[in-house]
Amino acid sequence: MTRNPLVNALAAVGYIAAVASLIFYTSTLGKLPIENSVFMPIMVLSLFVFSAAVMGYLFLYQPILLILGNEKKEGTTLFLKTLLAFGACAAAFVVAGFVITSTF
């Protein structure tokens, strides 16, 4: 991805928001006709594996390149800063969720 931890974290948040929005809005259209078949677990596991690969790329690609390029401190620092930025974004969503649900 980039060497900017905030950009990496925001890309992860954007991916999660896109997937969650897709699931939310398609589920409100009605039940999927494959709900009681083997295809539902296949879809869920496929989405899980794809999401793990995307998150691995967003969080680990640049740090691993730095570490393999003998910049271990920079690679570790980038990973930890990205993780911290993502944690801050997640905490902001949790707080926003509590604030929004308590006002309605």
Full residue range of the structural domain in which residue 22 is found: 5-103
Alpha-carbon distance 96 to 100, whole Å? 6
The per-residue pLDDT for 4 is 94
The per-residue pLDDT for 35 is 66
The per-residue pLDDT for 41 is 84
Tell me the three state secondary structure of residue 47: helix
Instruction: Give the alpha-carbon dihedral of 41, 53, 16, 71, to 10 degrees.
Output: 160
**What does each of the 104 residues of the chain score in pLDDT, given as a tens digit?**
789 999 999 999 999 999 999 888 877 666 666 667 788 788 889 999 999 999 999 999 999 999 999 999 999 999 999 999 999 999 999 999 999 888 76
DSSP label at 37? Answer: S
CA-based nearest residue to 65, from 74, 13, 48? 74
Number of domains the chain is built from: 1
